[in-house]
Amino acid sequence: MRKTWLLGFGFFSISITWALYNAFVPFFLEKFLTSTALIGFMMTIDNYFALFLQPWIGSRSDRTNSRLGKRMPYLLLGMPLAALFGALIPWHTSLLTLVLFMVLMNLSMSLYRSPTVALMPDITKEGKRTQANGIINFMGGIGSILAFAGGSYLYDKHASLPFLSASVLTLVCLMILLFTIKEKRDTIAYIPAEEKKKVSFKGQWNRPTLFLLGAIFFWFLSYQGVEAFFTLYGKNHLQLTESQASFSLAFFSLAFVLAAIPSGLLGNRYGKKLIITIGVIGLIIIFAAISFVDALLPLRALLIFGGVFWAMININSYPFIISLGDEQSIGARTGIYYLFSSLAAITSPPLMGGLIDWLDYSALFYFSSGGMVIALLLLLCVKDKGESIRC
């Protein structure tokens, strides 16, 4: 598991960058845009790249053969570019330059996100993947905590400091991965790309996969809506300061971190589907309860429980998708996983922004709770081992 902990630095860099992006970029956009729906649309730029690029890059990395391996060349290209353009975001001088830096950063991150994620099952045996996913998400959660807690402190000093810090950490993490993960040495049953059969997307659409992807879409629809608008919800609905709103998300991330490894162990022992189901039911209750909260202390308490339930879902969902295919489709299935999560992320912020414009910010958690209910119904139709289900 030592290699898994080291691979976690890749997730650490991704998580800290996205957390800062989602927490503070809406404030930059709010200076130029008055429509919440339009702000929500602008926050989905990354997912348009994920929609078109990540499935293709994930599948292509399955067939890549270089001195560094299948996945590492994509990290070596994308991470420095993402660090550069991420650091430039707070130095925008107009809406045009802000959007330009956002687009370039998101394009760069799309080059390496799927290959980074696919490295985990590459170097981990099937029976250990939920545990390994818990470890790497633990590292990612540490990144989110630093982003929300330390980022809010740095943001108060100067808006550029959180983004500059994330860029430096991204480069440091790349060096750690480059010098410690040797794919041709560490990959389980490494198969040279030229000896592998070409994996098509068509072969990945079996019935259990389709139901699971539907569930993934709806729980990410709920989660992404909350993630994109929580800081604005705290500021405009609960009358919190910008730093209080962003710091509150640290409680969610802290709980996620603490529950990440136990969630992987539980999924490995009791089954991924069962643990995901408990998590979905838990978030339905938490999101509904937050709708009735108007004070900071109970809000943060509910966010702690929400982080635990999200860990139960998120830690087990990716290994669940991988387990429904074969070893040669890891990159392709990783891309498909991000295809559906990205579709949700594209749909959710504009839809939620429109509802907020039409109603008010109280719609945020009602919408998210409803999305989780649909996800639960679809998840119950996924046939797990030993089950016979008709839907």
**Domain membership flag for residue 387:** no
Q: Contact at 8 Å (CB) between 115 and 70?
A: yes
Report, as an integer, the average pLDDT of 155-173. 90
pLDDT digits (tens, 9 = 90+) for 94-117: 999 999 999 899 889 888 887 887
pLDDT of the residue at 186: 66
Interhelix angle for 113-122 vs 45-62, to 10°? 40
> What three-state secondary structure class fits 187?
coil
pLDDT of the residue at 88: 94
**Domain membership flag for residue 371:** yes
Q: CA-CA distance, 368 to 389, in Å (whole number)?
A: 27
CATH number at residue 52: 1.20.1250.20
**What value does the mean pLDDT of the chain take?**
81
**Domain membership flag for residue 297:** yes
pLDDT, greater one: 16 or 125 = 16
The neighbour count for residue 179, using CB atoms within 10 Å, is 9
pLDDT of the residue at 40: 73
Tokens of 237: 């609905």
Note the helical H segments in the chain: 2-30, 36-42, 45-62, 72-88, 95-110, 113-122, 129-145, 151-157, 161-180, 183-186, 207-236, 242-270, 272-290, 296-323, 330-358, 363-379
**Domain membership flag for residue 390:** no
Quickly state the pLDDT bin for 86 (edges 50, 70, 90): very high
Is the per-residue pLDDT at 387 higher than 70?
A: no
Which residues share a beta bridge with 52? none
| Whole-model pTM over 0.75 | no
Lowest mean pLDDT among 44-48, 199-203, 268-272: 199-203
Q: CA-CA distance, 284 to 260, in Å (whole number)?
A: 19
**Domain membership flag for residue 385:** no
pLDDT of the residue at 81: 94
Q: CA-CA distance, 23 to 14, in Å (whole number)?
A: 14
The H or E element that residue 194 is part of is none
With CA atoms as reference, report the closest residue to 338 among 252, 239, 224: 224
Lowest mean pLDDT among 57-61, 134-138, 158-162, 347-351: 57-61
pLDDT of the residue at 47: 66
pLDDT of the residue at 286: 93
Is the per-residue pLDDT at 128 higher than 90?
A: no
Q: How many domains does the chain have?
A: 1
Residue 115 vs residues 53, 138, 196, 365, 369: alpha-carbon distances, Å = 12, 19, 17, 33, 32
pLDDT, greater one: 331 or 281 = 281
**Domain membership flag for residue 162:** yes
Report, as an integer, the average pLDDT of 206-233. 85
What is the percentage of the chain residues whose pLDDT exceeds 90? 22
Q: Contact at 8 Å (CB) between 280 and 376?
A: yes
Is the per-residue pLDDT at 56 higher than 50?
A: yes
pLDDT of the residue at 388: 45
Helix H, strand E, coil C: the string for 19-80 is HHHHHHHHHHHHCCCCCHHHHHHHCCHHHHHHHHHHHHHHHHHHCCCECCECCHHHHHHHHH
Q: Which range has the top average pLDDT, 1-5, 122-126, 165-169, 387-391? A: 165-169
Q: Contact at 8 Å (CB) between 38 and 168?
A: no
Q: CA-CA distance, 245 to 287, in Å (whole number)?
A: 16
pLDDT of the residue at 33: 84
Range of the domain at 11: 2-188+203-379
Q: Which residues contact 163 (CB under 8 A, 6 or more apart)?
A: 20, 24, 86, 87, 89, 90
Quickly state the pLDDT bin for 391 (edges 50, 70, 90): low
Is the per-residue pLDDT at 199 higher than 60?
A: no
pLDDT of the residue at 201: 47
Is the per-residue pLDDT at 77 higher than 70?
A: yes
Q: How many CA atoms lie within 13 A of 104 on its CB side?
A: 16
**Domain membership flag for residue 384:** no
Is the per-residue pLDDT at 121 higher than 90?
A: no
Is the per-residue pLDDT at 245 higher than 60?
A: yes
Q: Which residue carries 């579709």 as its tokens?
A: 343
**Domain membership flag for residue 198:** no
Report, as an integer, the average pLDDT of 249-265. 85
